Amino acid sequence: MQSERIIMAHGSGGRLSQRLVAEVFQQAFANPYLDQMNDAAVLPPAQGQPALTTDSFVVSPLFFRGGDIGKLAVCGTVNDLAVTGAAPKYLTAGFVLEEGLLINDLNRIVQSMAATAETAGVTLVAGDTKVVERGSADKLFINTTGLGFIPEGTQLNPLQVKAGDKIIVSGTLGDHGIAIVSEREGLSFSTPVSSDCAPLNHFIQGFLMPGVKCMRDPTRGGLATTLNEIALQAKVGMLISEEHIPLLPAVSGACGMLGFDPLYLANEGKVIAIVAPEIEARVLALMRRHPLGRQASAIGTVTSYEPGLVLLETVIGAKRILSMLEGEHLPRIC
């Protein structure tokens, strides 16, 4: 089956469909809920407040340095849950396959999803596959929905953010964006950049404590857009120090060459946390203890200066506006 390609009959519900489900999906994801083979997964009662999220993934190319669309589809949804303070538990996955897709590629992607789900400790409990004619989709699109539970006592909300709070990022910015662009355009840099794509839930659990007020994962639109969103919601200002923003030298180099600003590039394994000033040092220390947070850095402060206005103090000490992304974003980055 490995060198074969997806044909329309794989989506017919007939024998070929069944074989595909059995040999590709069930093989990778086997668990009691999926094995029920019911029309819906029936899950046990659970503690905590349910949190539910969904996301679709259309990244091109399917495989890139540091990940693939399958890993991304798990991480993206797991991380959306994790930054609300929820412990992600269950995932569903919908696949839209383009006629002609190599089954071998599909298999690699599904295996990668399964491995990432295992790392994150989430169970894939339901799935669906559709096949469309060549040209109606680009190889493979994946939608994932995630269900998690917020333990009692955890409350994250931008409305709690106030002047004096500290802004922390968990590591270097723009890695995912540059990894995808260089893959897509066949650019090579002396130190190749890998996507930072990773599930953040265990990492976040390691530093989540009272005083952590709001978290976001700066995906599309990057750090700049995410900070602007928080500032608008919380009706606060922010002052960010360019000097403290962690960047890989290869990412700054590539940005200079390609005319991108790393503060607007997508990240898939980073978190921005806004915390009370008393716990800043502890949160930073806890983040740096984890492999995903080695380069964590406190980058700025919440101000009362002007609600919704994010200012950047540049490396030479001037202040300028850090605006939201305007139009020029890269398509199909996740």
Partner 1 sequence: MSIKGKAEELLAGIRQLSGEPFKIMEVCGSHTVAIAKSGIRELLPESVQLVSGPGCPVCVTDNSDIDRFLSLAQTPGVIVATFGDMLRVPGSKTSLQAVRAEGADVRVVYSTLDALEISRQNPDKEVVFLGVGFETTIPTVAVSVEIAEREHLSNYSILSMHKLVPPVLELLVTDPEVGLDGFINPGHVCSVLGTAPFEFIAGKYQKPSVVAGFEALDILEAIWMLLRQRQEKRAAVEIQYSRVVKPEGSPKAAEYISRYFEPVDAVWRGIGRVPQSGLRLKAQYRLFDAEMKFDLPKPKSVNTPGCLCGEILKGRRHPFNCRLFGKACTPLQPVGPCMVSSEGSCAAYYRYSQRRGMSAV
Q: Which residues bind partner 1 (CB under 8 A)?
A: 185, 187, 243, 256, 259, 261, 311, 314-321, 323, 326-328
Work out how close the CB of 332 gets to partner 1 at its nearest, in angstroms, rounded to a whole number. Answer: 14
Work out how close the CB of 309 gets to partner 1 at its nearest, in angstroms, rounded to a whole number. Answer: 9
Q: Which is nearer to partner 1, 21 or 187 (CB)?
A: 187
Q: Which is nearer to partner 1, 42 or 316 (CB)?
A: 316
For residue 43, how many C-alpha atoms fall within 13 Å in the half-sphere facing its CB? 14
Q: Which is nearer to partner 1, 44 or 259 (CB)?
A: 259
Q: Which is nearer to partner 1, 44 or 317 (CB)?
A: 317
Work out how close the CB of 304 gets to partner 1 at its nearest, in angstroms, rounded to a whole number. Answer: 18
Dihedral sign (CA 300, 302, 305, 311): positive
Q: Is residue 172 left, alpha or beta, with left meaning phi > 0 and alpha meaning psi from -120 to 50? A: beta
Q: Are 150 and 49 in contact (CB under 8 A)?
A: yes
Work out how close the CB of 205 gets to partner 1 at its nearest, in angstroms, rounded to a whole number. Answer: 36
Work out how close the CB of 253 gets to partner 1 at its nearest, in angstroms, rounded to a whole number. Answer: 12
Q: Which is nearer to partner 1, 157 or 304 (CB)?
A: 304
- Distances from the Cα of 245 to the Cαs of 170, 272, 324, in angstroms? 10, 12, 17
What six digits make up the tokens of 172?
């270097």
Work out how close the CB of 158 gets to partner 1 at its nearest, in angstroms, rounded to a whole number. Answer: 24
Closest CA relative to residue 330, chosen from 143, 142, 135, 174: 174
Q: Which is nearer to partner 1, 50 or 61 (CB)?
A: 61
